[in-house]
Structures are given as C-alpha cells and as structure tokens.
C-alpha cells in the first residue's frame, strides 16, 4: 500500500489515509486535527457504533467508476468544520480516508468530493 499511511491499528479496524489527504490534513488547524484524530482512534478501537451522526456519518453509496457499476459506502469523520471522507475496502477491516474538506461551507457534502472519494477507494480495492 505505497500510497497510504496507516494512522491507527485498533481492536476492530485500521484507519489509513492517502498520502495526499495526509498532506492536507497536516495543514488543518491543530484543534480540528486533534479532534478528528481522537475520533479516528476511537473508531479503530470501537467501530462506528460509538459515534453520533455529528461525529461520523454515512454520506451514501457512490460508484467506483467500473463497468459493473459497483458502489461503495462513503462516510465522514466530522470535527468542527473539518470533514474527512472515506470507506472500507470490502472484506477487510481497513477504512481508508480518501478525501478531505478543511472548511465546510454548507450542511450538505459536495457530491463531487464524495464521488472522488468513491473512485479512489475503488482504485484501492484493485491493489
């Protein structure tokens, strides 16, 4: 997994970030980043059941862009105005963060961001 960095190896899941998302994440305001990191660590240990919708939310299912029309679930870690989007590699406990939005401008997630997150996740499934 050369394009990914493992952030947390928990009791239930592993949380990864793409290098591009990691680079942007490092630029985020420290208090937002610290809150999001705490959420990711808790997620790795306890899973999504430990969260409210204000902290971790399913955004929907989006196409990975293959010929079969495969769709994946994209979720978001939410800390203040920061959103980190990603999903699971099927058949694994690996959650990969594939997109980031440092400042939320609307309540609704940007569809283009969610679609990019799904397409990248699809590429990760091929590796």
Total residue count of the chain as it appears in this document: 127
Please give the residue range of the domain that contains residue 102: 4-126
Q: What CATH code is carried by the domain that includes residue 56?
A: 3.30.2310.20
Angstrom CA distances, 113 to 46, 62, 92, 100, 125, stand at 27, 11, 24, 8, 19
pLDDT in tens, 30-81: 999 999 999 999 999 999 888 888 899 999 999 998 899 899 999 999 998 8
Number of structural domains the chain divides into: 1
pLDDT in tens, 99-124: 999 766 666 778 999 999 999 998 88
Q: Please give the Cα distance from 50 to 12 (Å, whole number).
A: 12
For the chain, give the mean pLDDT: 90
pLDDT in tens, 71-81: 999 999 999 88
Q: Can you give the pLDDT at residue 61?
A: 96
Confidence (pTM): 0.91
């Amino acid at each position: 997994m050369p394009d990914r960095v493992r952030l947390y190896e928990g009791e239930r899941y592993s949380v990864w970030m793409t290098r591009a998302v990691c680079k942007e994440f490092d630029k985020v305001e420290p208090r937002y980043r610290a809150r999001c990191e705490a959420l990711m660590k808790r997620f790795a240990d306890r899973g999504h059941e430990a969260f409210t919708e204000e902290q971790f939310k399913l955004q929907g299912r989006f196409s990975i862009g293959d010929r079969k029309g495969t769709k994946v679930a994209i979720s978001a870690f939410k800390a203040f105005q920061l959103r980190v989007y990603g999903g699971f590699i099927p058949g694994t406990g690996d959650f990969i963060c594939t997109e980031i939005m440092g400042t939320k401008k609307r309540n609704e997630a940007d569809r283009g961001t969610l679609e990019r997150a799904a397409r990248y996740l699809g590429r990760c499934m091929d590796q």
